[in-house]
Amino acid sequence: MLTPQNPSPAAARALILGSTSRYRRELLERLHLPFQSIGPDVDETPLPQESPRDLALRLALAKARDVAQRFPEAIVIGSDQVADLHGQPLGKPLQHDKAVQQLRRMSGQTVIFHTAVAVVCRASGFEQVDIAQINTRFRPLQDEEIERYLRLEQPYDCAGSAKSEGLGISLLAAIDNDDPTALIGLPLIRTCQMLRQAGLSLP
């Protein structure tokens, strides 16, 4: 378990992923940097009239700040993803019936996934946040396709009820984005840029 450390140069700072998401952990492992995952304590309830984009940005920064407050010498990554259907946020369905409802609503529609990432280090005063926008167009879906997909992949912990990195790609007609891993949950291009600016060496 990480404990607060004495001040150290950026290259020697601990790196923390402020998330318990296995998807984000697997993505960050691609960078071959040692890190630990620590869950933030953040209320993810949307604010009144808050847009999906603003919600993702606010939560990514709140998650990074929460963990950074506990470990001020570390460099902390926070991230959040919100699916956006015509301006309305779609959360994680968590159960089968809600996933069916989500995919029925998304059938034939363009859904925007807002994936925000923040990097914070309290000791150095570093704080940045950015967001990737992924436009996904779902093809028209039949109920039997939705049922078959959900039974096979069970993506109940994914915003929008589909895993593009798995069988969920078969539900889509097109994806348009500039940071390919953003749809999975962590925009690595933006994350790498921020980590370099925070003082880490990559690769």
26: in domain: yes
Does residue 80 carry a catalytic annotation? yes
pLDDT (tens digit per residue) in 48-87: 999 999 999 999 999 999 999 999 999 999 999 999 999 9
Residue 140 belongs to domain with CATH number? 3.90.950.10
Beta pairing, strands 36-37 & 15-17: parallel
203: in domain: no
**Long-range contacts, stretch 41-50, CB < 8 angstroms, 24+ apart:** 41/66, 42/66, 44/80, 46/89
95: in domain: yes
3: in domain: no
pLDDT (tens digit per residue) in 139-178: 999 999 999 999 999 999 998 899 999 999 999 999 999 9
| Catalytic hit among 41, 54, 80, 143 | 80
155: in domain: yes
43 three-class SS: coil
pTM for the full predicted model: 0.89
188: in domain: yes
Query: For the chain, what is the domain count?
Result: 1
pLDDT (tens digit per residue) in 20-39: 999 999 999 999 999 999 99
Percent of the chain with pLDDT over 70: 95
DSSP label of 45: P
Give the pLDDT score at 10: 56
4: in domain: no
Confidence of residue 9 (pLDDT cuts 50, 70, 90): low
17: in domain: yes
Judge whether residue 1 has pLDDT over 60: no
Domain span including residue 126 = 10-198
Helix axes 96-106, 143-153, angle to 10 degrees: 130
